[in-house]
Amino acid sequence: MTTPGHDLLAGKVVVVTAAAGTGIGSATAERALAEGALVVVSDHHERRLAETAGRLGDTFGKDRVHALTCDVTVEEQVQALVDGAVAEFGRLDVMVNNAGLGGTRSVLDMPDEEWHRVLDVTLNGTFRCTRAALRQLVEQGTRGVIVNNASVIGWRAQAGQAHYAAAKAGVMALTRCSAMDAAPHGIRVNAVAPSLAMHPFLAKVTSEELLSDLTGREAFGRAAEPAEVANVIVFLASDYSSYLTGEVVSVSSQHP
């Protein structure tokens, strides 16, 4: 679903984590570029990141796209991502924290390692990137924006999702509290909470039965396209949402 750009992020420097491939991250990078931004795409998967950066560069101009590998569980790499964005484009304006890790496992069978891994990527990674971005924005003295990717599962119960739901609920709380810390500096922090956004990776790690069940709960009878979530992320990153901070915006057509 393509929407014409209106320069909502003209000249802004936007960093998007987990931007490789065809999911919400790459759709957000593409939407930001369509809205006039300079974009740093990041991911821990080097080959897919290079392919994504190449595709976006071919479409929007290679001088407007920069790729940096980053594992959000490693503090040094997170800091290098922010420093690299500033070195390439001179500053940071928007950080989109999209990196997350899910899976399906009953609490009864879940090992500590799986629990810790999901929370370290999804919640701790968002914290590390938020902290690094806020420090840079405060140092710059500019009114920047952070947009986190949460999930409706942070509000709703679903079997086998205790680790992911706990992490996404944590992202929501982190968003609200860090927004209060950032407000005195004129920096906004918000989040989106998608219900179901379909892309090839999700199809690989989710059973057809579960996908069918989740799709059936949607009012439109289909999953969202990643671009539809990206549109809301870009709205939150833009001046059209200048009075919103500490908010979690549901991107969902799901009914109870």
How do the residues of the chain divide into helix, strand and coil, expressed in percent and rounded to 5?
50, 15, 35
Q: What is the average pLDDT across 150-166? A: 95
Residue for token pair 């570029």: 33
Bridge partners (DSSP) listed for residue 188: 145
Are 130 and 178 a contacting pair, CB within 8 Å? yes
Task: Compute CA distances 103 → 68, 122, 160, 243, 250, whole Å.
Answer: 26, 12, 8, 35, 21
Cα maximum dimension of the chain: 50
The predicted model gives 12-41 an average pLDDT of: 97
Judge whether residue 187 has pLDDT over 70. Answer: yes
pLDDT value for 197: 77
Mean pLDDT within 44-68:
98
Catalytic residues: 164
